[in-house]
Structure 1
Amino acid sequence: MYATIRRYEGIDKVRSEEITRKVTDSLLPSISKLPGFSGYFLIDAGEGVLTSVGLFETSNQAHASTRLAATWIRENGLAAALPTTPMITAGPLIVQGRPPAAAAAAKTALVEA
């Protein structure tokens, strides 16, 4: 499992609500169709910071999500709303914790797949 974390800074609070709506309506559906997709989270870190976390099966798939997000920002006219280049951290998950019920469900899903 690989994660990609993108941290966007300098976002106007008014635009933050617009970005959140657009992520929900169009980015998330697109990212969730990528091969290896395992999860996506958008975090409002306050102080004009939004951080996204994407989980994928492979490194290449995680990097593909970053390219998709960059294209999505351009195509949706959000470059002014996201005024700085995101800080990107990507790599393999090396420790993972889940509640017992979630871990059992994940194992079942892997067996069924």
Structure 2
Amino acid sequence: MTDPDEAGRRVDEGFVPILRQVPGFVAYYWIDAGDGVMVSTSVFDDRDGAEESITRAAEFVRESLASLLPNPPQITAGEVMAAG
């Protein structure tokens, strides 16, 4: 069962502090897109930090979020091409 409020709480209290420890961390956003869809975006100074965050995210999802997510996470990585 999807519970966006509980997932958001767990991410805010458990995962965000983990990400802040990864070198190059800039920002993290957890978004409830509705209809059981949740999206996260991590911003890092370099690819090494981004790759480390993927490893830590996989562990956190397995241990703390899997029961709240109806589908396995999909990971996409890339360079920022424009920002406002």
Find the aligned partners of 1:49 and 1:83 in 2 and give their Cα distance.
9
Residue aligning to 2:15:
27
Find the aligned partners of 2:14 and 2:72 in 1 and give their Cα distance.
21
Q: Choose which of 72, 78, 81 in structure 2 pairs with 1:91.
A: 78
Give the conservation status (yes or no) of the 8 Å contact 2:19–2:25: yes
Aligned-pair identity (%): 38
Structure 2: gaps of 5 or more residues: none
Q: CA deviation at 1:94?
A: 1.3
TM-score (norm 1): 0.68
Residue aligning to 1:81:
68
Q: Does 1:36 align with 2:29?
A: no
Residue aligning to 1:62:
50
Q: CA deviation at 1:79?
A: 1.6
Q: CA deviation at 1:18?
A: 1.1
Question: What's the Cα RMSD here?
Answer: 1.3
Q: Choose which of 32, 35, 58 in structure 2 pairs with 1:47.
A: 35
Q: Secondary structure at the match of 1:88?
A: coil
Answer with 1 or 2: which has the greater Rg: 1
TM-score (norm 2): 0.89
Greater fraction of residues in strand: 1
1:50-97 residue CA offsets vs partner (Å, 9 max, x unmatched): 000000011121121111111012222x22222322122111111122
